[in-house]
Chains A and B, each alone.
Chain A
C-alpha cells in the first residue's frame, strides 16, 4: 500500500516538474533568451529533478515509518542506534550527488565570466533611482527612467500592462551580437538584472564590473534593480529592446544625429526669453517627472531627508543658491542628485521658476535658460 503511495507521490512530483518545465507559466524562470539563460534554466531543471528524487526517497521512508511503525498499530520499537554500512553509504552518496551537480555548474560559471570578443560595449550606471546607459566608443548616452505615471502607483488610475517595468529610453542592442555590459553605480550599490538574459551584475560605486549577453531573438526584455538602493529601489526598472542589426545601426545613427540636434536646440532655447507662465507650465511637467517622488506633489517633502519646497529655506532664498543645488546636487544630502547632467538649461530654469511660484511660495521671480547656461559654462 505504501509503495503505491510512494509511486503516486513520485508521479505527482514528476508531473509538476514536467508541467513547470513546459509551460511558460509563473512556476518557473522566464523563457530564456540567451545561451547562458538556457544553461541556467536547464541546470535548474536538473537540480529540481535531483531534489524531487531525494524528497521521494526521504519522505517516502519517513511516511512509511509514520504509518507502519506507530504504537497505535502495535508496532514495537527496535532498540538499534547505528549501522555503520548504512551511515557510510548515506554520506558517500550525497557527496557523489553534489559532485554531479557541480560539474555542469562549473562549466556555466566559466562561460558567464568570459566577456572577451564582444561586439559592442555598453556601460550601465545605477543612480538613485534610474539607470544611465552609455555606449562606449559611440558617444551615445542617456538616462532611462521609470515611465509608469505616478497616478497608477498611487491607485488613482488603472495600471498599464507593463506597470513598473516600463521606461522612457530603453537600452537598444543588436540581436545575435555579443554585448559586453559594464555595470557601475553613482551613489550606492545597485544591480542590473534581466532575467530573460540570465544576467545580474551588481554596480559598485567607484568600480566597473563586466558581464555579457547575446540575445537570441528580437523583443523587449524587462528586468529590475536587484540590490536595495533606497526608497525607490522598486521603481528603477531595466528595459532592453533587442532589434535586428540593421535596425540597431539605424538607431545608433539616429541617436548621434539627435545628439547634435539637441545641442543646437539647447543652445537656441538657452538664448530665448520665456514668460513666467511658460516657465511655470514647463516647470510643472519637469517637476512631475523628476521631483515629485521626494518633494511630493504638495511640495511638503518628507523632512528631514526630503526637505519641503513649500516655504523652504532654499526654495525661497536667493536664486543662485537654489540654482546651485539643482544643478550640482547637495553635499549634505546625496539623495539630491545633480540634475545638470540630466536636464537641459530650459528644464532647470523652468522647474526652479515653478517651485518658487507654487506650493504657497509667491516669489514672483523667474529664471531664464540663459542664466542656467551661464552657470553651466
Chain B
C-alpha cells in the first residue's frame, strides 16, 4: 500500500536519527574534552613542550600558591613543601610536594591537577610533574616529588595570583581491601 510504504520509510529515517542522537550523547564526551583543551581549561597529563620564547619577564611577578588535597580514604599525608612562591613568567621553577603513606600496605595513586583561575592552565608549561604518572608508595614510605614548570610569558596581566592544586586519588584494584564493588568508587582506573 502506498501510504504504509511512506510511513515505514519515514519510521526508518527517524529511527536512524534517534540512534544517531544516542551516539551523539557519547560523542559529547570527547567533544567536551577537546573544547576544554582548546580553551586551556582541562588538565593535560603529559609533559608540555617548552615554548620557544623562554625569555624571563623580569618586569612581572606572579604569586603562586600550592595546594594539596586527598580523596577520602587514601591513607596518605600530602602537602606542598612551600605554600607560595613569587616567580617571573618564563622562569624555570621547581617545587616539591611531600607524600607519606601511613598505612601498612603499598598504595598506588594518581594526582590530578587543578588551577585557579582555570584559564591559567593554558599558560602552565609543566616539564616534570608527579601528576604525569601513577605514584606507588611502600608502607610508611615518605617521598618528595618535584614539579618543574615555567609560566608562559604570554600569560595575561589579569592573573597576578595563581593557585596550583593537586588531588590524589587511589588507584583501585591494587590494595587487597579495595573492593571492585560498583558503588561509590573514588579511585582511578588508568
Contacts and interface: CB of A to CB of B under 8 A. Distances in A.
A19 interface: no
A206 B73 contact: no
B161 A117 contact: yes
Interface residues of B, number: 33
Contacts of A52: none
Given A116-B158, A184-B167, A331-B178, A121 B112 contact: no
A205 B169 CA distance: 10
B114 A207 contact: yes
A142 to B, nearest CB: 16
A136 B163 contact: yes
Nearest to A115: B117
B45 to A, nearest CB: 13
B107 to A, nearest CB: 11
Nearest to A377: B102
B83 A117 contact: no
Contact of B73 (A125, A207, A334): A334
Q: How large is the interface on A (under 10, 10 to 19, 20 to 34, 35 or more residues)?
A: 35 or more
A178 to B, nearest CB: 10
B161 A180 contact: yes
Contacts, number: 100
B72 A186 contact: yes
Interface string A336-377: 011010000000000000000000000000000000000111
B117 A334 contact: no
A331 B160 contact: no
Interface string B104-116: 0000000010111
A127 B70 CA distance: 12
| Majority secondary structure of chain A interface residues (helix, strand, loop or mixed) | loop
A334 B115 CA distance: 26
A127 B72 contact: yes
Nearest to B80: A136
B82 to A, nearest CB: 10
B118 to A, nearest CB: 7
Q: What 4 A-B pairs are tightest by C-beta distance, nearest first? A: A210-B116, A207-B114, A334-B184, A208-B165
Interface of A: 113-118, 121, 123, 125, 127, 134, 136-137, 139, 180, 182, 184, 186-187, 205-210, 327-335, 337-338, 340, 375-377
7 contacts: A127-B72, A134-B67, A187-B72, A210-B117, A328-B73, A331-B73, A337-B72
